[in-house]
Structure 1
Amino acid sequence: MTELGRRVRERLAERHPGERIGDLRTLPGGHSGLTYSLTAGPGSYVVKAVPPGQRPVGRNDVLRQARVLSALAGSPVPVPGVVAVDEGEPAWFAMEFVEGEAIEPVLDEHRLDPGLCRVRMLALADVLRDLHGTTGGEAAQPLGPAGELDRWSRTMRAVPPELRPGAEDVLDALASGVPDGIPPTLTHGDFRLGNVLCQGERPAAVVDWEIWGHGDPRIDLAWFLLFADHRNFPRVGRAVSGLPGEEELLTAYLDGRPDPLAFDWFRALARTKMAAIMGHNLRRHREGKHHDPDQERLPPTIAAMIRTARDILARRS
């Protein structure tokens, strides 16, 4: 038994005295930290831990993830319940295992009924509105529109120019029209159906809180809407009939409130961000840092993201 396994078992034994505690089993598919599952008596849990030899910072800061989940407990935003936190080295926390499907309709292989996908996406607009109306997590320096643009401009410019045609024009256009910020809210950072466990039509738990923060809610909103249309992802996306479009999702999110100010700028920023992330991943593959031939499907989507960001900004001028 590993030292981490021993510590986890001891803590969960306190919660389940006299009951059988299972072994840690690696959960596949995680993109940060280490993720395990285990059983304790009748309960099932997920454990997230800092990888050996690494510091609990950035995406590996599992304690920060535990704090936001704990802060959201009892709120309208469904999240797994945190049952144990250990700040020793390596730090870890345990949360309740939530049954459900985390499927991004326009990107993942699936056989879900299109009508179910539609209902889930509209329900998630309500969850996002609830998230942006919730206070939680420790105080943090909000990153406004200018800060977000600076972050993703650096990421984009680290991508070879031939992989990001037209990106400089888009970055210049974004920089010339940075909107004023609005009061910051709690933000998820990667809010979409692929990061929400659903049970039937109901969102049961929002997961993957590695990059949560306090910032402009329009950034979360524009990112969520990007996944409404497979045509945003040439050669990568898949058509799903009947999904709500961006306007319908925006209407559901607003729930009768005024349209968000300067929202087209944020829609263009979301596309720029996606192009930068995909370009970064493709560059790493071609440099041999992370072998993944599937990344070779990305150039048409990168180009489309940049092109549509430019078109959106052109309509604003």
Structure 2
Amino acid sequence: MLIPAQRIWSALSDEVAKLQVQFADSDVDGSAVMAISNGLRLLRNREAGGVAALRVQCDGLDGVLAQLEVMLGTAGSNVMDDLRKLRTQLDVARAQTALPGIEAAWLAALGRLQALMARVNQGGSLAPGAKKAVARILTDWETAHMSAQGAASACSGDDAGATQIDAQKLEAYLRDRFDEPALRVTSFRPLAGGFGKQTILFDVAGEALSGAFVMRRDMSERPSVEGDCHRTRDEYPVLRAMRARGFPAPEALWVDTAHRLLPGGDFIVMRCSPGKLSGSVFGVRAQVPESLTVTLADTMAHLHTMAPLVDVGELTDSLCAEGWKRSRGACTARYVRNLYELYLQAEHTPSPALVAIYGWLLDNVPDRKGPPSMLHGDFGFHNFLFEGDRLSAVLDWEFAHAGDPAEDLGYVHVTVGAAIDWARMMERYVAGGGEPVDDDTLRFFRVWAYVRNATGANLHATMFSSGRADDLKLAILPVSHIPQFIRCAQALIDEA
């Protein structure tokens, strides 16, 4: 996947804008932050404009030269000859197809025009009024040309600040929501990580609202992956329902789909759950509790033996009345095919390998007996909060759906398996009411875990490449995450 350079530079500029609030002199000419911001803008505009922009500049200068031919008619035949040669030189420049070539020809034309004006100044054949008029024409053209190099381009993302949330905007929003002018946001910290949502930690001191909170915000009005609960408005009722059933889900307070004072994506506000993350989707980064094996087994057994989540109503394609009536095999086949078709229909970066692996998946869907279970869909260290040895919260329910409980087991095997005693975990899981799973079924869902992640990563990275998302971290997906996901999926298929 080739991500256009202007997308990288645009996102870099947005990241610099986020940092500016941390530096007192960030808006002062000559400051380091201002210098970086200006440099990125110049680089981005050069990349975005390219050869076409310089051809436009050549056209503009050609029009200026046409005016000068009329005004410098009394300056002598040599001057007129040089003007005609200069216009011919611009024709040569416009014919260039590579940026370095047209830039070199452009600079040479500017140098020739400068030398010409120096000779006109020395010649003394122009009246003072004519010299003044010539100077005005050249000044108007040249200053406009130079300013354009530093202007915000249409694809630059310089209007991203309108949708960026900072402490002041959040405070104004909360004061308005709770009609409490004295309410204060006392800390504000956007979190790194996460590719589908923006996460912000903040503290509030007020009468109507006080304490530590989390905002989970859609990155755009249209998510890269539809279905499941990828929109916060769909994730919110699932969080509420799971917590009401005693599951360690975060306490979701409200979802806002209007947020007139905070333009951008919809968001959920939750109370901050205690604990810390111990790793990423690829595995553990810190020491995990010795009790993790038992904790995971009990948590999944609790989830998979719950009664159908009918109280959320007709929420998604699988969390609906009809979804709970399907067989496990039908749930799996429908879920895989839905994402496959979504991938093909959505704006994506072609991946023949990924499509080939989808073919294997659709040909090998397991059809285990039994009703579907409630699935989290994204179990892993990136979504577990631990407080000491206790699993304090399971985060991010955007992949929640009804299906074969072996799907969650396969995903856990991929994300957590290396850090736990798998045989002991399964023994505890079965003792808690879960069902055993055979090796072929587990392998299928391990492949699916990698393929689903590769699909989401492809769609997210394509959103960034095309300009529908501005988060710079999406640029790493095509060179790091996607190749690893696809290689791991194919290795498991080869084992089969």
TM-score (norm 2): 0.49
Contact 2:250 2:271 in 1 (8 A): yes
**Residue 101 (str. 1) matches residue 101 (str. 2):** no
AA matched with 2:197:
G
TM-superposed CA distance for 1:199, in Å, is 0.7
TM-superposed CA distance for 1:97, in Å, is 0.6
Could you say if the C-alpha distance between residues 173 and 262 of structure 1 is closer, same or farther in structure 2, counting changes exceeding 3 Å? farther
Q: How does 1:92-241 map to 2 (within 5 A)?
A: 92-104=267-279, 107-108=282-283, 110-112=285-287, 116-135=288-307, 136=309, 138-139=312-313, 140-141=319-320, 142=323, 144-151=331-338, 153-154=340-341, 160-161=351-352, 163=353, 167=357, 170-171=360-361, 173-175=363-365, 178-180=366-368, 182-230=370-418
Could you say if the C-alpha distance between residues 37 and 164 of structure 1 is closer, same or farther in structure 2, counting changes exceeding 3 Å? closer
- Alignment deviations for residues 116-166 of structure 1 (CA, whole Å, 9 cap, x no partner): 4442243022111112233445132437121133245558987533x4597
Q: Equivalent residue for 1:235?
A: none
Separation (CA, whole Å) in 2 of partners of 1:6 and 1:297: 38
Could you say if the C-alpha distance between residues 171 and 160 of structure 1 is closer, same or farther in structure 2, counting changes exceeding 3 Å? same
- Alignment deviations for residues 38-58 of structure 1 (CA, whole Å, 9 cap, x no partner): 212351001223446558965
Separation (CA, whole Å) in 1 of partners of 2:231 and 2:343: 25
TM-superposed CA distance for 1:250, in Å, is 1.9
* Structure 1 residues without counterparts, runs of 5 or longer: 231-239, 313-317
TM-superposed CA distance for 1:255, in Å, is 1.3
- Alignment deviations for residues 14-41 of structure 1 (CA, whole Å, 9 cap, x no partner): 7xx9664436542322322332222123
* Aligned equivalent of 1:269, options 442, 445, 453: 445
Contact 2:190 2:199 in 1 (8 A): yes
Q: Equivalent residue for 2:427?
A: 251
Give me the identity figure in percent: 20
SS at match of 1:191: coil
Separation (CA, whole Å) in 1 of partners of 2:271 and 2:245: 16
Q: Equivalent residue for 2:211?
A: 43
- Alignment deviations for residues 193-245 of structure 1 (CA, whole Å, 9 cap, x no partner): 32111111110011011121222222112211223445xxxxxxxxx5xx312
Contact 2:277 2:385 in 1 (8 A): yes
Separation (CA, whole Å) in 2 of partners of 1:47 and 1:284: 20
Q: How many equivalent pairs are there?
A: 292
Separation (CA, whole Å) in 2 of partners of 1:86 and 1:144: 31
Cα RMSD, aligned residues only: 3.9
SS at match of 1:291: helix
Could you say if the C-alpha distance between residues 118 and 170 of structure 1 is closer, same or farther in structure 2, counting changes exceeding 3 Å? farther
Contact 1:22 1:40 in 2 (8 A): yes
- Alignment deviations for residues 3-22 of structure 1 (CA, whole Å, 9 cap, x no partner): 665333444677xx966443
Q: Equivalent residue for 1:76?
A: 246
- Structure with the bigger percentage of helix: 2
Contact 2:301 2:430 in 1 (8 A): yes
Bigger relative contact order (CA 8 A; separation at least 6): 1
Could you say if the C-alpha distance between residues 25 and 13 of structure 1 is closer, same or farther in structure 2, counting changes exceeding 3 Å? farther
Separation (CA, whole Å) in 2 of partners of 1:44 and 1:165: 44
Separation (CA, whole Å) in 2 of partners of 1:10 and 1:301: 45
Q: Equivalent residue for 1:308?
A: 492
